[in-house]
Amino acid sequence: MELQEQIIRTDYSELMQKSYIDYAMSVIVARALPDVRDGLKPVQRRTLYDMHELGIRYDKPYRKCARIVGDTMGKYHPHGDSSIYGALVVLAQDFKMGKPLVDGHGNFGSIEGDGAAAMRYTEARLQKLTQEAYLADLDKNVVDFVPNFDATEKEPAVLPVKVPNLLINGAEGIAVGMATSIPPHNFGEVIDGVIAYMKNPDITTEEMLEIIPGPDFPTGGIVVNKDDLVSIYETGNGKIKIRGKVEVEKVKGGKERLVITEIPYPMIGANIGKFLNDVYALVESKKTGDIVDISNQSSKEGIRIVIDLKKGADTQNLCNLLYKKTRLEDTFGVNMLAVADGRPETMGLVSVIRHNVAFQYELATRKYKTLLAKALDKKEIQEGLIKACDVIDLIIEILRGSKNIKQAKDCLVNGVTEGIKFKSRISEKMAKELHFTERQATAILEMRLYKLIGLEIEALMKEHEENLKNIAFYEDVLGSRASMARVIIKELKEFKKEYAVPRKTVIENAEEVVFEEKKIEEAPVVVLMDRFGYTKTIDVSTYERNKEAADTENKYIIHCMNTDKLCLFTDTGQLHTAKVLDLPSGKFRDKGVPIDNVSNYSSSVETMVGIYSLGDLKDVVLMFATKSGMIKVVEGTEFDVAKRTTAATKLADDDKVVSVNIVKESDTMVMQSKKNMFLRISISEIPQKRKAAIGVRGIKLSDKDELVNVYVLNEAQDNTIIVNEKEVHLNRLHIGKRDSKGVKK
């Protein structure tokens, strides 16, 4: 019998939507976001649990990270070793975590962004805090265990963390369509905040911020927008501004230097190197002339970035410059997103603590229910053993008279004496009155003879009394929320006493930094550019002394002010600008820098056809000529633009700019083609256009001919060139009409 083909018809968009939502929720809940209860992502939770299962405790020897990673991947986290080792490394880094949860041995990376050594070299074990506050009581049924990915192992759905880890260590994660970014906080302050909430569940964010004033980054620093924290911690969203800590040190010769001892938290890693480069850039761009040298002297003892200054430097103004122009002042974007009740939720400070406290009550309830059940079982057995000690002779008689254990147990539990030999009827009568429970009878039958020693019986009585006290305590804790709160608070205070550390980050309100740039004294300079594009500036007097050599050795010589801009026109029709201040200023024989380095001009893809200072372009017109013979004049003011690169003229396909010249209406121009056709016309014949126009035809060119040179002549000028070994006097050429062929030379 043939199976009928069954086609399930569904809307493609619905299928995609459902599939994408399933994928997104999987990433959100099972990969990228922490759980609000234990503050851990799944990979972190699984790694810590695996270390616990492997017995890598804080008081045991270190174990290879490769072993931990392999075991975690094989049992709980089948998403590759790099994610597990990455999580393990971060858990051990004291510059990223408020409280590191792993004790790393070996190279676990550095604050400057150096990566950790390979997992085969490094070793790790759990921290004492992790063992006591994160993994304790797992044997007391305090959390649910769920099957692992292949249902061969069980793993905790959440760790029984007794402190609000989400606030203590913060979190960072990028999911699908959402991300979390929670700063770390001070351990002792967070504990105090939890206790305050337990005493007053109606506590406001403002009141909570008196106890937890704000984030406490492991790198220290200064939070400068204290007034914004109320809104940030109320909504769970906002930006925290952090500055590095800068100290001023005196050195020999009356000089001073700035020493950065604390950095903003977002600067850790590669951003330290970027900060150093930014300071170099400030010096190179002449934003400051006070910095002599910068060196990174950071070590295991802490951050120490030294900036040596010139004598008499304004240190405060320089600090403001660093805050304004570098990452020494940075922002930490807060987005307190975590998984709560199986779904992502953005929470404020009090809300996070509320979820945590509810979790603490749940842990305590399950813990003390388990302890009470065990204590009641113990009580039952202890009472049976104590009762057995009172009638031990009778029990021995029953055991000696019984044929098997079943017969003896039946007698102890139900008083059945049939088949048991007794020494007397009194003993048999007493045996019939025995009513031990099943568990008591089993304990009596398994009891060893040494337990009958007087001291052992006394110890049993004492243990029983202690157990009764425990039962009363457990019942009190479970029966009264106030009693349970006292127990939780007591444990929290013990954690605080042992693990709290002083706050590192300062919280304050600071004014917006204002950097006053020193006004540059305006002065005339001469810009020299050689035929290779190396450019520099020299003062006018230096130029005058070396005029002959300067004119001979350089392709372009521009007289301008040091505050001016250079306008570079290229054959591709582009205009590139460069600040004169960006050019090196010095001696006449200094080499200079390639013009490519201080502008967007690229000598490898375009050719410069004209260079002028912006000051020269005011109140003048520029004439453009292209190889296809198109010409136009444009007002120079059109090229006063803020952009570093813009289009200077519109070009037809395959056309290029041949020359850009400053002209006057009284001037004439001579166009020379590749086939040595010459046409002289008056500048007044050329129409004025906008820079976005192509222009008009200046000379009629024959096939395969193109414009190669343009000469601008004034009345007093005698311009002579050599063509085919003959002199051509350009100023003697007949002035013709635009758009004519010209004359052959």
Which long-range contacts does 727-735 make (Cβ < 8 Å, 24+ apart)?
728/678, 730/670, 730/678, 730/680, 731/668, 733/670, 733/678, 733/680, 734/680, 735/668, 735/680, 735/681, 735/682
Identify each DSSP E strand in 588-742 by its residue range: 593-594, 608-613, 621-626, 630-635, 645-647, 657-663, 668-673, 677-682, 696-697, 707-713, 720-723, 726-729
Q: What residues are paired with 586 via a beta bridge? A: none
CB 432 within 8 A of CB 422: no
CB 700 within 8 A of CB 736: no
Cα separations (Å) of 266 from 186, 219, 335, 372? 18, 9, 15, 48
Which long-range contacts does 144-150 make (Cβ < 8 Å, 24+ apart)?
148/75, 148/76, 149/76, 149/78
Find tokens 């402190």 and name the residue: 163
The active-site residue out of 49, 121, 197, 265 is 121
- DSSP string of 544-608? HHTHHHHHHHEEEEEEEETT-EEEEEETTSEEEEEEGGGS-B--TT---EEGGGGSS--TTT--E
Pairing outcome for strands 534-539 and 524-530: antiparallel
Which long-range contacts does 108-113 make (Cβ < 8 Å, 24+ apart)?
111/219, 111/268, 111/269, 111/272, 111/298, 111/303, 112/269, 112/272, 112/273, 112/296, 112/298, 113/268, 113/269, 113/270, 113/271, 113/272, 113/273
- Dihedral sign, Cα of residue 605, residue 610, residue 611, residue 613: negative
What is the residue type of 432?
K
Cα distance between residue 445 and residue 451, in whole Å: 12
CB 43 within 8 A of CB 83: yes
Identify each DSSP E strand in 256-297 by its residue range: 256-262, 291-296
CB 670 within 8 A of CB 680: yes
Cα distance between residue 680 and residue 106, in whole Å: 81
CB 115 within 8 A of CB 48: no
Residue 12: active-site member:
no
What is the residue type of 117?
A
- Select from 552, 703, 684 the least CA-distant residue to 628: 703
> Six-digit token pair at 668?
């004439």
Identify each DSSP E strand in 461-553 by its residue range: 506-507, 524-530, 534-539
Query: Catalytic residues, which ones?
Result: 121
